[in-house]
Chain A
Amino acid sequence: MQQDCPPKLKSPISGAVTLKAASLVALSTLVSACGVTSRLEPYKQTDAVIAAGEQVVVLARKNHANHEAEEDFVDCISDALADGKNGIAVHSSTEFEDMMYPWFEPSTAPLSTDDLSTLLEKPEVMQRVRDSGVRFLVWLDGSTDRVASGGGITCAAGVGGAGCMGLAWWEDDARYDATVWDIKELDSAGTIHADVRGRSVMPAIIVPLPFIARPQAHACKGLTQQLEQFLTSPTGYGAGPDLG
């Protein structure tokens, strides 16, 4: 006996809602695809810390064999170190280079603490460094580079309107080394290595929606936090875990 199929009920979930849900899922996937991974490796060799009245200066390594740290990155580190109620006294990089000219130019800057020691044997140089109040030199080396990119976005405009469609992505790698010299002890106080990789995505559905990762900004923040601890804690990294 043939039975009529019961009438199909209209689905309570409309097409518009289905589309919205699909868009949300796609958006979540894209947002999770962008992000930053960081690695910071500090190494402190001494117990030296910055004392009241002493200053630190942040300089970019400029001997041309290396990647030169960007000017705004040096400024970011200097400004961040000086900020806040626990800010450290930071000497202006350009003023220091001008004051010590010609001994901190790309071709004349000391490459090792032995070179620094030789330089400071000149009485006029030693006196100038003393007058500046600078105790620690932070040499920054490295750069932020684009390591991968892909996708594409197409935009078109017509009588009825304009819009874009597509997906673009790119990955930047910010790798920096901060080497800290103690001028008073004429020795290296240690190094901090930072490697921050960030992937940015930009889907375009009519309008491009940028989701930008900022690895350089993260590198600046991470290095600054490490340098603050480096310069203010004898052991470098605060109290250890409470094992009691």
Chain B
Amino acid sequence: MLAATALLCGCSSSVVVESSFPTPLVEPLPVRVGLIFSPELHDYIYTEDIPEQSTWTITLGDANIAMLEPLFDTMFMETREVPELPLNAADQRGLDGVIRPMLEKFEFDVPIGQRDQFVEVWMQYKLSLYEPNGEVVTEWPVTGYGKAELGHNREDAVRKAAIVAMREVGATISTQFASQPQVTYWLEERENAAGLPTETQVAN
């Protein structure tokens, strides 16, 4: 028993969240957007030492980009990756705005030892929209929740729950971005400037 406990205490669980995410079925907004994917987003790793369980390491960096890049490519008329703010004149040219997503919070729960339980994951991103000159338009927190049946493999259940949570984040961004008040006003300004109608996405 003591040997088993000692063995358990030394265990670690590692999850690499890899998935291909579908592109959203939405009408693109008629704006050109620069995207900033920071090193923190690319290399995001969450580590937590859970008492009486193990040390969990959850790698999300690649999954962040895999989820966000096709999402933004579909949501906007044109996107391109840009360096960190402030942008120089050349980088600002032809852009209506700049978006920087950040993964701010990650939490998860793995039940111990009971039947019929679920693994749960909560994630919170911050989506910051800027004018090309760096002026903040809005900073929008977007949360996602996912759950998966515990089964026999805890790591696989955490991975599945994280994927569900990320899909939820993508669903929220793609369906509700345009209806954020400051974004709606920003889109109307672009419409007036371009003299073109803006077809905004209607949130469900």
Q: How long is the Cα–Cα vector from A108 to B22 in the complex, in angstroms?
A: 15
Residues of A that sit less than 8 Å from B by CB: 64, 68, 70-71, 98-103, 105-108, 115, 118-119, 122, 124-125, 128, 143-146
Question: For residue B202, which residue of chain A has the nearest CB?
Answer: A122
Encode B9-25 as 1/0 by CB contact (under 8 A) with A. 00000000000001111
Q: How long is the Cα–Cα vector from A103 to B22 in the complex, in angstroms?
A: 12
Task: Evaluate contact between A102 and B115: CB separation under 8 angstroms.
Answer: no
Q: Binding site of B, secondary structure by majority: helix, strand, loop or mixed?
A: mixed
Q: Given A102-B171, A105-B167, A145-B116, A64–B145 Cβ distance below 8 Å?
A: yes
Q: Given A108-B204, A146-B115, A102–B174 Cβ distance below 8 Å?
A: yes
Q: Is B175 an interface residue (CB 8 A)?
A: yes
Q: How long is the Cα–Cα vector from A119 to B202 in the complex, in angstroms?
A: 10
Question: For residue B114, which residue of chain A has the nearest CB?
Answer: A146
Task: Evaluate contact between A107 and B24: CB separation under 8 angstroms.
Answer: no
Q: How long is the Cα–Cα vector from A108 to B25 in the complex, in angstroms?
A: 13
Q: How long is the Cα–Cα vector from A125 to B170 in the complex, in angstroms?
A: 17
Task: Evaluate contact between B164 and A125: CB separation under 8 angstroms.
Answer: no
Q: Is B91 an interface residue (CB 8 A)?
A: no
Task: Evaluate contact between B149 and A70: CB separation under 8 angstroms.
Answer: yes
Q: Is B55 an interface residue (CB 8 A)?
A: no
Q: Given A101-B23, A119-B204, A146-B115, A106–B149 Cβ distance below 8 Å?
A: no
Question: For residue B116, which residue of chain A has the nearest CB?
Answer: A145
Q: What is the number of residues of chain B that contact chain A, defined by CB distance less than 8 Å?
A: 20
**Listed residue (A64, A100, A105) with the most chain B CB atoms within 10 angstroms of its CB:** A105
Q: How long is the Cα–Cα vector from A56 to B116 in the complex, in angstroms?
A: 29
Interface residues of B in 14-49 (CB under 8 A from A): 22-27
Q: Is B172 an interface residue (CB 8 A)?
A: yes
Interface residues of B in 104-153 (CB under 8 A from A): 115-116, 145, 147, 149
Task: Evaluate contact between B167 and A101: CB separation under 8 angstroms.
Answer: yes
Question: For residue B118, which residue of chain A has the nearest CB?
Answer: A68
Inter-chain contact total with CB atoms closer than 8 Å: 52
Q: Given A64-B147, A146-B116, A107–B22 Cβ distance below 8 Å?
A: no
B114 shortest CB reach to chain A, Å: 10
Q: Is B168 an interface residue (CB 8 A)?
A: yes
Q: How long is the Cα–Cα vector from A125 to B27 in the complex, in angstroms?
A: 10
Q: Given A64-B147, A125-B25, A101–B116 Cβ distance below 8 Å?
A: no
Q: How long is the Cα–Cα vector from A103 to B174 in the complex, in angstroms?
A: 10
A54 shortest CB reach to chain B, Å: 21
Taking CB atoms, residues of chain A closer than 8 Å to B168 are 105-107
Question: For residue A146, which residue of chain B has the nearest CB?
Answer: B115
Q: Given A68-B147, A106-B168, A107-B168, A99–B22 Cβ distance below 8 Å?
A: yes
Task: Evaluate contact between B25 and A100: CB separation under 8 angstroms.
Answer: yes
Taking CB atoms, residues of chain B closer than 8 Å to A118 are 204
A84 shortest CB reach to chain B, Å: 28
Taking CB atoms, residues of chain B closer than 8 Å to A106 are 145, 164, 168
Q: Given A71-B149, A124-B27, A128-B25, A102–B175 Cβ distance below 8 Å?
A: yes
Task: Evaluate contact between B27 and A98: CB separation under 8 angstroms.
Answer: no
Partner of A101 from the list B22, B145, B172, B204 (CB cut-off 8 Å) is B22
